[in-house]
């Protein structure tokens, strides 16, 4: 049974030292009980108490750190089945595939095509974080491709159930900390030792859920809990059922044997159908794929799955906000006009993108509107003549910028008169209703 906040509080120092970042030991204890904080955040707990509480307060799904080039990501650590219950904490990661049956030309083409899909959307890099290298029959070629993948800035997944071949591939790529996906009922002891000796994550598979459970249990008994569970690719139905049942067993039944992240190979499930692959990648982004392996990553697929991921893995309890301030665009200086909008992240990135496309120097003012969109902020009283005037004063805009032209969003044109009254030295201009019209508007304004 999970410990309650009061049970944890009884074991704390009760000094309210605030070293954990909370005002009191009781507040800390309540957050630990809710799964919002790790018990190790308290530096004053004895080793005995930490050991006693660690298992009881740990999340039902283990959180793992995976390496993709120089970047580290967290996978797992989830506490809820649905985002609206609280929040998802570790976003799905994507991989594209190489296989030892590929020729040099095919492998290079696959690498070039998928590596090119690398862009930024709403301040987040969108790309396939991993390269999945699969062994089928040519051991030397498999190791060669693993080394080639190591030369990129992506993480590596080694799909191999042959111990000798896996050992050679791990030795060649150990510095990149690959994921070794190849443990099963017949080789788990050797594979677990190989993974443990090299400090890497081990992928575990089985012909069905029963075998996967038994194999995982045996690997845990060996002391290895640095695991990821491969849901298999026998059929779409079986893979989906496995992903859901593994997650439900961990979170609802508190079964820690299945309390690990999941890996899904949608490229194998789609059998070469790109549209089906994109659909399955979207499905398993929603339904519990921690790492999703595709045959290749195209822009068409990326726009769908990365856009979906960015929406699903944002915290619904926290608005997506941009830091309020002055953002010079197109090499704007103190003589460039000002345009003001709200701090909702999507509004900022759309508006700033269109302003940059116009090529006209402009100082974009981002006011604190609580993370709301323009109309919502206006309706909630977060965007008003008073708030605009306060922003101009608080951020010392008049001393930093000589130009006294202020462009406001067209959807709040009703505020023009009030803003003009509050800022008599400024010329207030109503901009377009939609960001897409900003390019023409700014070019006409500058001419």
Phi, psi angle pair for 289, to nearest 5°: -85, 115
Q: Identify the pLDDT of residue 2.
A: 61
Give the span between the Cα atoms of 369 and 374, in whole angstroms. 8
Band (427; pLDDT cuts 50, 70, 90)? very high
pLDDT tens-digit series, residues 212-265 = 999 999 999 999 999 999 999 889 999 999 999 999 999 999 899 999 999 999
Q: Identify the pLDDT of residue 86.
A: 84
Q: Identify the pLDDT of residue 121.
A: 83
Model confidence at 1: pLDDT above 70: no
Q: Identify the pLDDT of residue 236.
A: 96
Among residues 89, 86, 92, the alpha carbon closest in space to that of 77 is found at 89
State the CATH architecture for 63-312.
Answer: Alpha-Beta Barrel (3.20)
Q: Identify the pLDDT of residue 395.
A: 95
Model confidence at 170: pLDDT above 70: yes
Is the domain covering 325-446 a CATH 2.20.28.120 domain?
no
Band (386; pLDDT cuts 50, 70, 90)? very high
Q: Please name every residue paired with 293 in a beta bridge, in sequence order, or none if there are none.
A: 95, 265
* C-alpha distances in Å from residue 120, one per residue of 92, 180, 438: 17, 29, 21
Model confidence at 59: pLDDT above 80: no
What is the pTM for the complete model shown? 0.80
Give the span between the Cα atoms of 131 and 316, in whole angstroms. 31
Q: Where are the domains of the chain?
A: 5-57, 63-312, 325-446
Q: Please name every residue paired with 97 in a beta bridge, in sequence order, or none if there are none.
A: 132
Q: Which of 78-87, 213-222, 279-288, 380-389 is predicted with the least confidence, judged by mean pLDDT?
A: 78-87
Mean pLDDT taken over the chain: 92
Phi, psi angle pair for 410, to nearest 5°: -60, -30
Distance of CA 203 to the CA centre of its chain: 21
pLDDT tens-digit series, residues 322-374 = 899 999 999 999 999 999 999 998 899 899 999 999 999 999 999 999 889 99
* Strand 338-342 versus strand 291-293 pairing type: unpaired
Among residues 223, 229, 276, 236, the alpha carbon closest in space to that of 250 is found at 229
Q: Identify the pLDDT of residue 240.
A: 97
Band (16; pLDDT cuts 50, 70, 90)? very high
Model confidence at 92: pLDDT above 60: yes
Phi, psi angle pair for 324, to nearest 5°: -60, 145
Give the span between the Cα atoms of 383 and 282, in whole angstroms. 36
Q: Identify the pLDDT of residue 317.
A: 76
Band (68; pLDDT cuts 50, 70, 90)? confident
pLDDT tens-digit series, residues 292-306 = 999 999 999 999 999
Q: Identify the pLDDT of residue 112.
A: 94
| Degrees, nearest 5: CA angle 71-268-113 | 50
Give the fold, CATH level 3, of 5-57: 3-methyladenine DNA Glycosylase II; Chain A, domain 3 (1.10.15)
Residue % of the chain over a pLDDT of 70: 98
Per-residue pLDDT averaged across 78-93, rounded? 90
Band (29; pLDDT cuts 50, 70, 90)? confident
Residue 308: count of CB within 10 angstroms of its CB: 16
Q: Identify the pLDDT of residue 163.
A: 96
């Amino acid at each position: 049974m999970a410990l309650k906040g009061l049970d944890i509080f009884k074991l704390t120092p009760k000094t309210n030292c605030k070293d954990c970042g909370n005002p009191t030991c009781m507040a800390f204890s309540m957050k630990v009980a809710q799964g919002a904080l790790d018990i190790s955040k308290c530096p004053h707990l004895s080793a005995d108490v930490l050991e006693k509480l660690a298992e009881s307060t740990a999340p039902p799904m283990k959180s793992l750190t995976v390496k993709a080039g120089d970047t580290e990501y967290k996978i797992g650590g989830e506490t809820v089945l649905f985002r609206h219950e609280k929040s998802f904490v570790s976003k799905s990661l994507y991989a594209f595939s190489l296989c030892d049956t590929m020729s040099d030309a095919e492998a290079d083409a696959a690498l070039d095509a998928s590596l090119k899909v690398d862009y930024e959307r709403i301040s987040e890099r969108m790309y396939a974080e991993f390269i999945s290298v699969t062994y089928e029959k040519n051991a030397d070629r498999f190791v060669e491709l693993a080394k080639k993948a190591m030369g990129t800035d992506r993480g590596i997944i080694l799909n191999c159930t042959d111990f000798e071949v896996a050992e050679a591939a791990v030795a060649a790529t150990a510095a990149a900390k690959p994921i070794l996906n190849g443990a099963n009922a017949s080789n788990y002891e050797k594979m677990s030792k190989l993974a443990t000796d090299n400090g890497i994550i081990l992928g575990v598979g089985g012909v069905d859920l029963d075998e996967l459970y038994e194999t995982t249990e045996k690997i845990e008994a060996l002391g290895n809990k640095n695991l990821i569970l491969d849901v298999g690719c026998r059929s779409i139905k079986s893979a989906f059922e496995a992903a859901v049942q593994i997650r439900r067993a961990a979170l609802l039944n508190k079964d820690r044997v299945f309390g690990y992240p999941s890996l899904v190979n949608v490229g194998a499930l789609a059998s070469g159908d790109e549209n089906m692959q994109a659909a399955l990648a979207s499905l398993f982004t929603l339904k519990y794929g921690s790492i999703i392996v595709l045959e290749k990553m195209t822009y068409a697929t990326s726009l769908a799955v990365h856009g979906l991921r960015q929406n699903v893995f944002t915290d619904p309890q926290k608005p997506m906000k941009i830091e309020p301030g002055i953002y010079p665009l197109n090499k704007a200086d103190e003589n460039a006009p000002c345009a003001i909008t709200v701090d909702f992240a999507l509004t900022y990135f759309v508006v700033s993108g269109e302003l940059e496309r116009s090529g006209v120097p402009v100082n974009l003012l981002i006011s604190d509107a609580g993370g709301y969109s323009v109309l919502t902020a206006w309706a909630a009283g977060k965007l008003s003549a008073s708030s605009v005037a306060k922003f101009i004063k608080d951020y010392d805009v008049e001393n930093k910028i000589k130009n006294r032209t202020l462009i406001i969003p067209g959807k709040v044109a009703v505020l023009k008169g009030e803003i003009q009254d509050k800022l008599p030295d400024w010329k207030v201009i109503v901009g377009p209703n939609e960001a897409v019209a900003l390019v023409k508007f700014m070019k006409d304004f500058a001419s």
